[in-house]
Amino acid sequence: MKQGPDAAGHFGEFGGRYVAETLMPALLELERAYRAASADPAFWEEFNAVLRDYVGRPSPLYFARRLTGAYGGAKLYLKREDLNHTGAHKINNTIGQALLARRMGKTKLMAETGAGQHGVAAATAAALFGMECVVYMGEEDIRRQAPNVQRMRFLGARVQPVSSGTATLKDAMSEAMRAWVSRVDDTFYVIGTVAGPHPYPAMVRDFQSVIGREAREQALKQAGRLPDLVLACVGGGSNAAGMFFPFLDDASVRLVGVEAAGYGIATGKHAASIGGGQVGILHGSKSYVLQDGDGQVLNAHSISAGLDYPGVGPEHALWARTGRVKYVSITDAEALEAFEDLTRLEGIIPALESSHAVAEAKKLAVTLPEDGLIAICLSGRGDKDLDNILAYKAKESRA
Amino acid sequence: MNRITLMFEAAKKERRKTLVGFLTAGDPGMAVSERNMLAALESGVDLLEIGVPFSDPTADGPAIQAAGARALGAGATLGGIIGMAGRLRAASDAPMILFSYANPLFHRGYERVADEAAAAGVDGFLAVDLPFEEASEFRALLAARSLFFIPLVAPTTPEPRMREILSDAGGFVYYIMVKGVTGLRAEAAPDMKEHIEALRRCTKLPIAAGFGVGNGVQARAVAAHADAVVVGSALVEAARQGRLESLVRELSGALRG
């Protein structure tokens, strides 16, 4: 199962490099550079040292006793990516890509961001390594995620507002790709998820796989066994890819990816690309895409800005196709309920993204025996979401 | 013989450079758009690029982004655009290509699109985000119907890669003059000449150069090196402002004069 993509970046029929010719030489150069770095033990030594000393890894695998009691079934373990420096898993990837950029002699970083978590993580890596950084962010997300915008600015990044389309992550990524075309000589584009053209999906997965490698070892050490079930939320899919990848060959471990159902798949207002989309080509790769009958990309909806994206990484598309990973979806309301459960019962305020995975655990815990074990990737912390949740609740109570 | 090849051969005999014009189909609505396309052909566009609007135009600047949004807002569809191409073909013998992003073509089905386009009298396709490596299936389907898949070459494309891209290409080569998205620029690309010379070493096909050209003076400067000049954003804007025909005449005149 743990097969990388083929030489041209295909995961089965998915993936590839669907970009303008102007970008192709840069992608080929990036692929060569990543392949060389990947084969160099010194690169990984430095990566691991920064993750340990700066990010604070390994993150704990925490047994959530009270949540387990409330959900009434299998033991629930949380992989605490929320405890990473900057508060989410995104930093694992930006450290990796910034190190690669430095190795390639690039001095400028650029990134797209939805919730702002990846933007903050990219700005943080840029500050750490003394690089310039520009972050493309939709105006709607700038409004929804004001604290992260300020954080990026304090870190020295320039936040470039994007007003096209729905002014969210999809449009920020389109604008970042446009900008990259004109800066391709000296700028490294730090993509925040396992989407985009080859080699990004494989590279980001590799940098994020530290999550699953640690979780696997920790489960064996702490519980004496592998989990029965591993859960992670899926927008573009980077925390899920990193969590799942090291478990792919463990046939006894069920893997479940949780997409955002928004108001419900049937309403059309959702972000479940696998559950409610079709195969298509967006932002450089072939995967599942939310689109209309004429191949125009639709706007996604999720209460969680980080899942509010109409595409998904191509390797997830392959895992869905082969059945190795099962993809389900959770509504805004279910995610909020899980957010409140975890906050009250464990004193952990989860990101709305991660709350989707917790909500699926609430459904599945009772289907397993009490000695069963579920590992949930708690991909980030929820402080950034408080304004957004209050606004949602105010709207609901008026309705 | 394909109309594209015939047109370039005729222009070569007449020792003139040609004008490739791009307009977004369906902007601001299908009926006006069709009239604009015909007017462009009648005023001097030698080869028409019929732009298929896409929701996420990652290679386009503000003018063509906005035109695409207007077209989609007015209900433009790929099926409707191929129908328009068929009507344009009934009125004109000029070569026409469809200029699209990959997903609308993929979603409708490469084979179906190739069949429909051939039946409508379209001469080829240009797919912005379908580079050489991903294009083999669509290229083969087009070739089987005697349609060209027009290759794109950028200023970042090294010569060995040019050779690969052009190894079995037909029609013409589209040279993207600048590292950037579509749209007007005041300055000409400084390295255009050497890149076009490199292209000549790799292919005998006519070379059309585009991105950033908006007036007769710029067109003439590009035509000093290329066989054809592509104008897109400027035509889209001119059409919006009701001065499409005068701009086409200016450009066309500059290439003949």
Per-residue pLDDT, averaged over B161-174, amounts to 94
Q: Minimal Cα distance from A287: which residue of B?
A: B103
Q: What is the pLDDT of residues B34-77, one digit of tens each?
A: 999 999 999 999 999 999 999 999 999 999 999 999 999 999 99
Q: Are A60 and A358 in contact (CB under 8 A)?
A: no
3-state secondary structure (DSSP) of residue A110: strand
Give the percent of chain A with pLDDT over 70.
99
Q: Minimal Cα distance from A286: which residue of B?
A: B103
Question: What confidence category does residue A49 fall into, taking pLDDT thresholds of 50, 70 and 90?
Answer: very high
Pairwise pLDDT comparison (A397 vs A20), residue with the higher score: A20
Q: Please pick, among B27, B46, B49, B123, the residue that the annotation labels catalytic.
A: B49
Give, as one character, the DSSP assignment of residue A384: G
Question: Which pLDDT score, from 0 to 100, does residue A165 have?
Answer: 80
Cα angle A163-A299-A398, degrees, rounded to a multiple of 5? 90
Chain B interface test: which of A6, A14, A18 (most B C-beta within 10 Å): A18
Q: What is the pLDDT of residues A9-35, one digit of tens each?
A: 999 999 999 999 999 999 999 999 999
Question: Which pLDDT score, from 0 to 100, does residue B257 have?
Answer: 67
Distance from CA of B75 to the nearest CA of A (A): 10
User: Does B33 score more than 90 pLDDT?
Assistant: yes
Question: What confidence category does residue A341 fall into, taking pLDDT thresholds of 50, 70 and 90?
Answer: very high
Q: Please pick, among A353, A360, A379, A384, the residue that the annotation labels catalytic.
A: A379
Amino acid at B198: A
Per-residue pLDDT, averaged over B149-169, amounts to 95
Indicate yes or no: CB of B58 within 8 angstroms of CB of A283: yes
Return the closest-CA partner of residue B93 out of B43, B41, B40, B20.
Answer: B41
Distance from CA of B57 to the nearest CA of A (A): 7
Q: Minimal Cα distance from A181: which residue of B?
A: B180
Q: Give the position of tokens 């996604």.
A: A300
Known catalytic residue: B60?
yes
User: Does A102 score more than 80 pLDDT?
Assistant: yes
User: Does A115 score more than 90 pLDDT?
Assistant: no
Give the percent of chain B with pLDDT over 90.
92
Question: Which pLDDT score, from 0 to 100, does residue B168 have?
Answer: 84
3-state secondary structure (DSSP) of residue A69: helix
Return the closest-CA partner of residue A378 out of A350, A340, A359, A345.
Answer: A350
A368 touches chain B (CB under 8 A): no
Residues A62-81 as b/e (b if ≥16 CB within 10 A, e otherwise) read bebeebbebbebbbbbbbbb
Question: What confidence category does residue A1 fall into, taking pLDDT thresholds of 50, 70 and 90?
Answer: low
Distance from CA of A178 to the nearest CA of B (A): 5
Q: Give the position of tokens 């084969």.
A: A39
Residues in chain A: 399
Give backbone dihedrals phi and psi of A176, rounded to 5 degrees, phi first. -65, -40
Distance from CA of B4 to the nearest CA of A (A): 22
Indicate yes or no: CB of B154 within 8 angstroms of CB of A21: yes
Known catalytic residue: A90?
yes
Q: Where are the beta strands (DSSP E) in A5-116?
A: 10-11, 14-15, 61-63, 75-80, 108-113
Known catalytic residue: A326?
no
Question: Which pLDDT score, from 0 to 100, does residue B81 have?
Answer: 98
Instruction: Report B:185-204 residues touching A (Cβ under 8 A).
Output: none
Mean pLDDT of chain B: 95
A115 HSE (CA, 13 A, CB side)? 34
Question: Which pLDDT score, from 0 to 100, does residue A377 have?
Answer: 98
Paired with A14 in beta bridges are: A11
CB-closest option in A18, A25, A165 to B158:
A25
Question: What confidence category does residue B235 fall into, taking pLDDT thresholds of 50, 70 and 90?
Answer: very high
Mean pLDDT of chain A: 96
Indicate yes or no: CB of B107 within 8 angstroms of CB of A278: yes
CB-closest option in A23, A164, A284 to B65:
A164
Return the closest-CA partner of residue B53 out of B40, B43, B63, B45.
Answer: B63
Pairwise CA distance, residues B221 & A312, whole Å = 45
Q: Minimal Cα distance from A19: which residue of B?
A: B129
Q: Are B65 and B71 in contact (CB under 8 A)?
A: no
Global ipTM: 0.96
Residues in chain B: 257
User: Does A305 score more than 90 pLDDT?
Assistant: no
Question: What confidence category does residue B133 fall into, taking pLDDT thresholds of 50, 70 and 90?
Answer: very high
Domains defined along chain B, listed by start: 3-256 (3.20.20.70)
Instruction: Report A:205-264 residues touching B (Cβ under 8 A).
Output: none
User: Does A244 score more than 90 pLDDT?
Assistant: yes
Q: In what order do the strands lie in the sheet with A132-138?
A: A158-162, A132-138, A108-113, A187-190
Q: What is the pLDDT of residues B99-119, one digit of tens each?
A: 999 999 999 999 999 999 999
Pairwise CA distance, residues A118 & A193, whole Å = 9
Residues B96-115 as b/e (b if ≥16 CB within 10 A, e otherwise) read bbbbbbbbbbbbbebeebbe
Distance from CA of A30 to the nearest CA of B (A): 14
Burial class (CB in 10 A: 0-12, 13-18, 19+), A390: exposed
To the question of pTM greater than 0.95 for the whole model, the response is yes
